[in-house]
Structure 1
Amino acid sequence: MNSLRLLLHQEVLGEMAGTRPRNLVSSMRYQAEDIDGALPFATEEDFRDALLFVSDNLALVEMWRTQLYQWDFESAPTWSDAEPRTPERRAHICLRLGIDLATAKLLEANAPIPALPKPVVIGTRFEPWYHARSLRFSRHGREGYWNNYRLLLARKHWSPEAVADLDAATDAVVERLADPSAPTAYQSKGLVVGYVQSGKTANFTGVVAKAVDAGYRLVIVLSGTLNLLRAQTQRRLDMELVGRENILRGAAEHDSDYRDDPAWIERRFLSFGDLPSVQGWFDIHRLTTRDNDYRSLQQGIYALEFEKREPALPLYDPVNLHRAAARLMVVKKNKTVLTRLVKDLRKIKTPLSEIPVLIIDDESDEASVNTTRVKPDSERTAINQSISDLLTMLPRAQYLGYTATPYANVFIDPSDTADVFPKDFLLSLERPHGYMGATDFHDIDATVAESERTYANSNEKAHVRDVVVTDSDDTAALISAVDMFVLAAAMKIYREDHGLGDGFFTHHTMLIHESSFVADHRELLARVSEVWWNADYSGPSGHARLRELFDTDVAAVSAARAEGYAVPAAFDELRPYIGPAVFRIGGDQNPIIVVNGDTALETGAADFDRRPIWKILIGGQKLSRGFTVEGLTVSYFRRRAGNMSALMQMGRWFGFRRGYRDLVRLYIGREESGPGKRTFDLYQMFEAICQDEDAFRQELRQYATMVDGEPQVTPAQVPPLVSQHLPLLPPTSKNKMYNARLVEVRSPGRWREPTAYPTLAADLRHNVDAWLPIIDELSTEPLEFAYHFPDGAAGHEMTALHATVSADRILAVLESVRWRAERQFAPDLEYLRSITADGDVTDWAVLCPCPNRSAPHLSIGSRTVPRWDRTRRRDPLFGAISYNWHRTIARRIAGALPDSGDPHTESFRTARRGAILLHPVVEPAHLTDIRPDGSIDPGHLALTFGFIAPSTAIGRDSRVVRFETTDSSTESAIVEAE
């Protein structure tokens, strides 16, 4: 009976797939005429019964969930004007299905309206073409590479919502490419920004699938600068997009370049049943293989020649385009390889102007960017020149960069038409569900006092372990990290034995990253080997250490964060799994793999595709960008970098950690000091990166909103949205940061907190003098402020001195304040000038909050004020000084939050009033300079502040940013103070 119902709904949904929703009952009755015995199931009442008894109808519910999400996520359907992923869109779906309210509620219960936000796109206007003609590409029929890829992801246990989200994100990319069959050629250039190790490959695989379905016939994937990353990308595309039949092309199984690959042997590569061309669509010809990069082609360059059904028509004509085979190559960013490709393309007979080409540039901020400012007499860097040659000779080529660190790309000179600047669009992918990223290792804006943090409420406490090196001896920390690796391995085997099943954890790795130099790796190998072979994991001393580490670390963290996975009640329950764990790691007498050259990959030592790997990896550059270290659980990281992009790409501990998220540990270098050493703190550097990255994405999200049908910013105006601080760790290398300047940033109801305060005593004294008249007006006694959230969540409180000061006086102070990097505050100051002149702000509530109840105080002028002790995070920058719960009070006063429910807070709330939080900061080096009476030399005091302008202070128009263009050959957008 259930099988007939399932068959009926398969036919109904098959008919609706790729089209608009239609009347359900009519469709069921129509399909039931061709299915013997199915008519009793062709009623809405029967459908409701099936939705009520989900356990008996899982396959049917899954089918409907998948289809509903496709309709929910569709970006521009002709059948609904409601926004995607909204109750209004779902209501339109149910209305067109003709179902009653009870059925609609059951559908929503089984397929909740997706809450994931839409992709954020900064772009220019484009000519819609993709959705209007997408049905021609058989996106939801049996044919089509996208459809097969979508089905493969479902078989890999992607949720219907995740597949639908990928569908929407890839649509947002493909629709901004040029129409491959348009008579007039257009070269679109875009950039997709993801997170480190967050699934960018899945996105560009989906884009390639949709692009070839739409008519793109040459796909060039530029996959990093290393052989192992190129091979990893080639295999992924071959396995999930190209498929067995296109790989073999009639050859025997044992002739495949994947003949020794477990996934090939187990038939986990995509299969179409026969060559796509035999089934009425088109094949994909590989021009590179897993083991071989692009090589010069022989025999008249036949492999690159495109066949035409109608020779008199151009290749891009639909008559020819949709019958021609596509070509795919995955190549390294290597001058020799790319020169071969350019040379061969110039030899083929098919006019290059007729070929729709898609160039995917993975890790596009590495090697692709020209690091010389383009002048008439300047030369491009080698890889950039090769890419420029491709774009110049292929007028129908679309360039699409992928990166998690976009700063180098957005700083490219947009006036250079032959370069890879993303002139048409920049798309920011949302953080995927289940992803463990940078913020999961930090307590950004934590509202819990440090003394009250636990393994449950603190990411740092749960996952981060300090490596504080004295006299270059890190042996104790290294032993602890290796012990944790062994314990985590035992925990994984324990979980396999308690519900997850044998082989659930294919890989289990530890990464040690201290240097990129081969000589350092050799020395490190000796040290780690000594630690391993002296660990005594089968004896009493080893078990004693593991027991203590389990009791003091693993047990407590897993109890708080295991997410339902099995946790031993005591170490004795885990002890039987220690031996098998040690055997999996070192049973072959080779527990450590050094990955610093092609030899390691060629011998299969670090090839995650061909065998399970339970090893300690020692590496540098080859494991710091793009390459996925599978099963990574313990990271031991002590390598410094010169800029944000380089350091973030080294964060291999980011990724998906299904079944062992609670076991992930980061052993990271903290403050190192001593003779001849410079103090540094890698953990604080990563925290700063987190904040800068989040701020950049928030800016993109805000500016992606259209104003009067026009984009607020174009990609050419994105560079100023990147952090313009003067940091120890700039966003990217300085020779890529030029060409635009931010003049004004409007921030009604948004917290702004500059951090680039001066270091010279004379400048610090000047700032104290500027603020002194305001400080003298502060109340002599503090007031208790509070904010009570409407949903009953724990409220926020603040004790602060206070004053109300006119907008003109505050502006005069802010105009006189001195900075170490003046450019950082200049766009905010321009905004404050405009809203003061226009009367959008009439006065400011100046609050001087206490950091805590026991905070010491300072004497400044006629007032005793709370003292804040802070260290500059990245010379000369402070991090965020204010507390999140204090900012909540300021937001309410500025009208950015609803009623606080607190009379003191509400007494400060008036229309056109902003809020300023003032923080007198004494740095550690000057604490001893505080006099017995609580005063201090103003030259040792940094008066820092943050502000929230009134939420109504929008400015002269509805735009939120204003720019000016600079001459890229003479001026830098990032101006450093001397």
Structure 2
Amino acid sequence: MPLSDSAAALRLDLHAQVLGDMGSGKPKRLVRALEYQAEDLAAEAMALANEADFLSVLREARSTDRLVEMWRKQLTRWDYNENVPWSPHSPRTDARRADVYTLLGIGDETGKLLDSLVPVSKAAGAVVISTEHKAWYTPQSLQGRPWYWPAYRKLLADKGWPEDVVAGLDEATDRVVERLADPTAPEAYQSKGLVVGYVQSGKTANFAGVIAKAIDAGYRLVIVLGGTLNMLRAQTQRRLDMELVGRENIMRGASEYESDYADDPAWSQGRFASFGAMPSALGAFDVHRMTTRDIDYQSLHMGIAALESDKQEPGLPLYDPRNLHRAAARLMVVKKNQRVLGKLVKDLQKIQTPLSEIPVLIIDDESDEASVNTSDLAKPNTERTAINKKISELLRMLPRAQYVGYTATPFANVFIDPSDTEDIFPKDFIISLPRPDGYMGARDFHDLDSDLADEERTYANSNEKAHVRSIVVEDDDDDTCLERAMDMFVLTAAMKLYREDKGGLGDRYFQHHTMLIHESVRQDDHRQLLGRVTGLWWNAGYLGATGRERLRTLFEDDVAPVSAVRADGQAVPASFEDLAPYIGPAAIRIGGDDKPIIVVNGDKDIETGEADFDKRSIWKILIGGQKLARGFTVEGLTVSYFRRRAGNASTLMQMGRWFGFRKGYRDLVRLYLGRQEAMGKKEIDLYEGFEAICRDEEAFRAELAQYSVTVDGRPEITPDKVPPLVWQHIPWLKPTSPNKMYNSRLVTVRSPGEWQEPTAYPTKSTDLRHNTNLWTPILTSLSTEPMSLSYHFAESGVSHRFAALTGRLEPGALLALLSDVRWGAPSQFAPHLDYLREITASGPAQVDDWIVLAPQHAQPGRRIRIGGDGRSYSYFARDRRRAPLFGAISDLKHRAAALRIAGALTDSADVTLEGLVAPRRGAIVLYPIVESAHRTSLADGDTIDPSRLVMAFGLVAPASARSDDGRVLRFTTVDSSREGVAIIDTDSGPGSA
């Protein structure tokens, strides 16, 4: 080996030893550590044990070099570590990384090179709403015990998970496990929590990590409630067996061919976790499976021996560390079924080990489905719903059981009555997981914050234009739309084959390619749909001239222009002729076995195949209903054809199987969605429904994030205060079923220094006229000439500039005006009005005045006359996304100036804007809106009828207008009779509501 190669290998070995020694501990002096490790290596290693050598390598290094990858892994761990004693700074910050470099004792140039090769991850962490908890889950408490978590972490890294993603999972699972009870504590405590993820975003990976850490810590019975369907339960069982349980625990000494996964390609390919021997033979402990991929929980007939936990020290309880850490763990994945859960309850009552001694972890996947009680227990002789009753029995008979629900639609869970101690209300914690990198969720199909007019939207700047296609049904016949969606499915299949052939995917390929048609849950409808789709497929002519011409048009009009701006480096054919050779193979791969369609609905007469993505590659069209509507992952989903309606947001959101990870084909994803369909006497729009849910979800997460900050080391709010954070943005689509919504009401939202933008304006002419007349005197009092205002963001280099008429309002005058404004949905603004009343009229005033801004267009046009003085003002063309709500009203460029005036941003470097800044000052931005129905007959400069104008506004309260107690929410609720339920008013002083 040449000397340079030898030196490189020796350097890698040296740094690997050093970083391995530091492991999960704190950074140590690098040069000293290098010299120490070099003593045990070859003589030449000492020449490499210095910073100068490291620096010379970094100057020439690429981000993919092995040495850089080693450092990436360790730096990322230090970046993510929470509450470390060696740094006072928050994780994932430049300050934390600077502390790392200081402890390593490296110079500025070395640090800068490492930063350029391994940038600090600024990814958001998990958001935690929690009661106070006893700190027990610490590195010191787990010294020498971790086994399954390190193995799981390594498996994910070996699968190619980026180090920052693995580190994020490590951090997020810590947030869950540390809030469970200490399994070795003498006193029993039952913690209940909720983890909120995104639809198809990797929640299973999180609870697999939680299980790994929990059993390492001492939990010895793990019950996973794996949905209500066999296929979902089996999918969850396989995932845990493959990535966590491992081959040795599965076989238990049996032959490879006796495994329940003998027919699974991943088993024969060696992709199941393996430890080399039974963990108990390697100084750890085994995991015994109580369920298998194909067999749900069965009654145990052999003296219930499988659930017994042998005590090494019979005189001590099982939870004593001398027994606990020498006992095997038991894992079962159980369907949420009354009969199956009943068997488990009966068996647990028979075992000899006292149930009060067994640390149990219950993971409830899709916890808002079936688990929540929907019976009104306040009525006489009312019983819980069946599955909720069984879960309650488990919790009652297992005092050391910890309950953690997982869901992407948490509204049903947070609306559970907190005073019902036998229910699954997450009394101890709610954790909101961050949106994963590379995830394609609801936001990626909508233009939530866009202020672009329809004619300005392009495939590049509009998610809706790029990915969403309307299903337009004429005379109850949607075959034309359905055929177009199927054409897109074949065309995107050809695009995937083209990308596999042209490279750029590494060693990856597209194992699955699917289309989902979801119109109904009724099996009779599926039977009729199967006939239609089958006929369309065989008459499509994909191998002939007619089909090719349709595909050519679709490629040139849709696929090519979208992929040209959204392919993200993936190969795109220059013309249809370049793609044409792949169309035949794509069509044959889908339908070459004469079975292009798989029906998944439990009807044995029409089910045409098995949607088992683990056993084979699937390139098919899937037809289904409930089985494919929640929890179950449809792999490779590229085209969705969706017309199914739902009555609440949780149900509709869970049907969004098109959410997920679409690596290598994000640009090809298409959603064909029903628009403006009749539902009773109302016209609904599924796309608007999903958009409303997305807004509900993001508002909920934003509120959780805002109120997760502790005040004086104590939680600002606890889980029993969370229900009021849930909003309903569309009249016909409630957050969850009405029988799951309970009894809390939000009274105040304190928002110092934050942009607030109400959108629920009235639709009645009398109310619009009333509001216009309220605001007209304010408009006429503004400056006659616009003032040019700008704000420059130093970090990004972006400047926001606009012209506005300006004025000033006394606090009392504004409060009186806003108190008199009429709304389409008064409850939306009421909590904000209460806050304005608080800072203006209650106690010492916290606002001196308000600056009023009326932005004016730079270009001529879109002006109207308001009032009787002949003055004209710019108006804004906005339309309601759904009555009474508008979408985005403000222009982003206006917000920075308002935030600066209110003291929420630093110096703008604009003398004019700085002249408007003062302490204890707020800002109001006015938006006279003319909706499309009134714009067509409106000429520039016309006087507008006050009843045809919407006087909208945004506001920023002074950044200094904070409460003395640091709290930002005030609540009312119905029941305060028990400890642990929502307090009637968090402001408990005299006179509180």
Relative to the length of structure 2, the TM-score reads 0.92
Alpha-carbon spacing, 1:755–1:283, altered in 2? closer, same or farther (3 Å): same
470-479 vs 538-547, greater mean Cα deviation: 470-479
Q: Would the aligned equivalents of 1:594 and 1:600 in 2 still touch at CA under 8 Å?
A: no
Deviation at 1:940, TM superposition (A): 5.6
2:635 matched residue in structure 1 = 630
Name the structure 1 match of 2:533. Answer: 528
Deviates more, 1:196-205 or 1:103-112: 103-112
The 3 A distance-change label for structure 1 pair 918 and 233 is same
Give the structure 2 partner of residue 615 of structure 1.
620
**1:354 Cα offset (Å):** 0.6
27-36 vs 660-669, which moves further? 27-36
Question: Could you say which residue in structure 2 is the equivalent of 1:372?
Answer: 375
Q: Does 2:281 align with 1:278?
A: yes
Q: Deviations over 1:650-695 (max 9, x none)?
A: 1111111111111111122223469x87422222222222222222
Alignment of 1:784-795 (within 5 A): 785-790=789-794, 793=797, 795=799
Change (3 A) 1:359 1:454: same
> Is 1:19 equivalent to 2:19 in the alignment?
no
In the TM superposition, residue 966 of structure 1 has moved relative to its aligned partner by: 2.1
SS at match of 2:140: helix
Match of 1:202 in 2: 205
Corresponding position: 1:680 with 2:684: yes
Q: Report 1:80-95 matches (<5 A).
A: 80-95=87-102
For residue 14 of structure 1, give the secondary structure of its aligned residue in structure 2.
helix
Specify the alignment match of 2:987 in structure 1. Answer: none
C-alpha separation in 1, matches of 2:738 and 2:64: 59
| The 10-residue stretch of structure 1 (52-61 or 493-502) with the greater mean CA deviation from structure 2 | 52-61
Q: Between 563-572 and 373-382, report the one with greater CA deviation.
A: 373-382
Shift in alpha-carbon separation, 1:819–1:645, aligned structure 2, 3 A: same
Distance in 1, Cα, partners of 2:974 & 2:339: 36
> SS of the residue aligned with 1:857?
strand
Rate the CA distance shift 1:129–1:570 in 2: closer, same or farther, 3 A.
Answer: same
Q: After superposition, where does 1:88-167 map in structure 2 within 5 Å?
A: 88-139=95-146, 144-167=147-170
CA distance in 2 between partners of 1:81 and 1:53 (Å)? 33
Between 72-81 and 356-365, the greater mean CA deviation after superposition: 72-81
Q: Which residue number corresponds to residue 593 of structure 2?
A: 588
Pick closer, same or farther for the CA change 1:261–1:346 going to 2, 3 Å.
Answer: same
Aligned mates of 2:779, 2:42 — CA distance in 1: 86
* 1:173 is aligned to 2:181: no
* Distance change (3 Å), C-alpha of 1:372 and 1:926: farther
Please say which of residues 109-118 and 57-66 is displaced more in the overlay. Answer: 57-66
Partner residue of 2:482 out of 478, 481, 490: 478
**1:419 matched to which residue of 2?**
423
Contact 1:228 1:598 in 2 (8 A): no
Structure 2: distance between partners of 1:452 and 1:846: 29
User: Does residue 944 in structure 1 map to residue 944 in structure 2?
Assistant: no
Q: CA deviation at 1:867?
A: 4.7
Q: Report SS of the residue matched to 1:131.
A: coil
- Give 2:71's aligned amino acid: W
- Give 1:58's aligned amino acid: D
Deviations 1:569-608 (A, max 9, x none): 1111111111110011111111111222275999852111
Q: Which amino acid aligns with 2:671?
A: L
* 1:566 corresponding residue in structure 2: 571
How far apart, CA to CA, are the structure 2 residues paired with 1:936 and 1:29? 81
Residue 40 of structure 1 corresponds to 46
Closer/same/farther in 2, CA of residues 479 and 601 from structure 1, 3 Å limit: closer
- Asked if 1:389 is matched to 2:389, the reply is no
Contact 1:870–1:921 under 8 Å retained in 2? yes
Q: Comparing 201-210 with 874-883, which one deviates more in the overlay? A: 874-883
The letter for the 1-side match of 2:115 is E
CA distance in 2, matches of 1:318, 1:606: 44
Q: Is the 1:893–1:908 contact (alpha carbons within 8 Å) kept by the matching residues of 2?
A: yes
CA contact (8 A) 2:846 2:960 kept: yes
Query: 1:417 is matched by which residue type in structure 2?
Result: T
Identify which range, 860-869 or 606-615, moves more after superposition: 860-869
Q: Aligned to 1:417, what secondary structure does the other structure show?
A: coil
The residue type paired with residue 611 of structure 1 is R
Residues 207-228 of structure 1: per-residue CA shift (max 9 Å, x gap): 1101111111111111111111
The answer to which of 847-856 and 820-829 deviates more is 847-856
Of the structure 1 ranges 42-51 and 431-440, higher mean CA displacement relative to structure 2 is found in 42-51
Determine the C-alpha separation between the residues in 1 that align with 2:78 and 2:226. 33
Task: State the distance in 1 between where 2:472 and 2:262 align.
Answer: 47
**8 Å contact kept, 2:645–2:652:** yes
Q: Aligned partner of 1:408: which letter?
A: A
Provide the residue aligned with 2:74 in structure 1.
67
- Give yes or no for contact 2:757–2:955 (8 Å, CA) kept in 1: yes
State the Cα distance separating 1:177 from its structure 2 match.
1.0
In structure 2, the CA distance between the partners of 1:953 and 1:81, relative to structure 1 (3 Å rule), is closer
Matches of 1:18 and 1:28, distance apart in 2: 18
Runs of at least 5 residues in structure 2 that lack an aligned partner in the other structure: 1-5, 985-993
Q: Find the counterpart in structure 2 of residue 494 from structure 1.
A: 498
Closer, same or farther in 2 for the Cα pair 1:935/1:522, shift >3 Å? farther
1:512 aligns to 2:517 (yes or no): yes
SS at match of 1:327: strand
Contact 2:649–2:693 (CA under 8 A) maintained in structure 1: yes
Q: Is the 8 A contact 1:194 1:428 kept in 2?
A: yes
| Corresponding position: 1:334 with 2:337 | yes
Distance change >3 Å, CA 870–CA 85, structure 1 → 2: closer
Partners of 1:196 and 1:655 within 8 A in 2: yes
Identity %: 62
Q: CA deviation at 1:952?
A: 2.1
Instruction: State the partner residue of 1:229.
Output: 232
CA contact (8 A) 2:595 2:608 kept: no
Q: 1:699 to 1:42 in 2, by over 3 A?
A: same
Contact 2:218 2:325 in 1 (8 A): yes
For 1:475 and 1:867, the matched residues in 2 are separated by 43
- Which is further off, 86-95 or 118-127? 86-95
Work out which of the residue numbers 833, 836, 851 in structure 2 matches 1:845: 851
- Give the Cα separation in 1 of the matches to 2:443 and 2:815: 36
1:916 aligned residue: 924
AA partner of residue 697 (structure 2): E
Shift of 1:64: 2.8
What letter corresponds to residue 740 of structure 1 in structure 2? S
The equivalent residue for 2:467 is 463
In 2: Cα distance, 1:601 partner to 1:170 partner: 42
Deviates more, 1:676-685 or 1:945-954: 676-685
Q: Is the CA contact 1:601–1:607 (under 8 Å) kept in the aligned structure 2?
A: no
Contact 1:740/1:973 (CA < 8 Å) preserved in 2?
Answer: no
Within 2, Cα distance between the matches of 1:673 and 1:930?
32
Check 1:110–1:901 CA distance in 2 against 1; reply closer, same or farther (3 A cut). Answer: closer
**For residues 922 and 211 of structure 1, do their structure 2 counterparts lie closer, same or farther at Cα, with a shift above 3 Å needed?**
same
Contact 2:38 2:49 (C-alpha < 8 Å) held by counterparts = no
Contact conserved, 2:973 with 2:983, CA < 8 A, in 1?
A: no
Letter in 2 for 1:585: I
Return the alpha-carbon distance in structure 1 between the equivalents of residues 344 and 708 of structure 2: 37
> Judging changes above 3 Å, is the alpha-carbon distance between structure 1 residues 946 and 509 closer, same or farther for their aligned structure 2 residues?
same
Deviations 1:88-136 (A, max 9, x none): 3333333443444444444434332221122211111111111153442
Q: Which amino acid aligns with 1:949?
A: A
Q: What is the CA distance between 1:791 and its match in structure 2?
A: 5.2
1:742 matches 2:746? yes
Are 2:438 and 1:442 equivalent residues in the alignment? no
Please say if residues 411 and 736 of structure 1, whose CA atoms lie closer than 8 Å, have aligned partners that are also in contact. Answer: yes
| CA 958–485 in structure 1, closer or farther in 2 if over 3 Å, else same | same
* Structure 2 residue corresponding to 1:605, chosen from 601, 604, 610: 610
CA distance in 1, matches of 2:757, 2:780: 23
Tell me the secondary structure at the aligned position of residue 130 of structure 1. coil
Distance 1:290 1:673, change over 3 A: closer
Q: In 1, distance between residues paired with 2:466 and 2:936?
A: 34
State the match for 1:854 in structure 2.
861
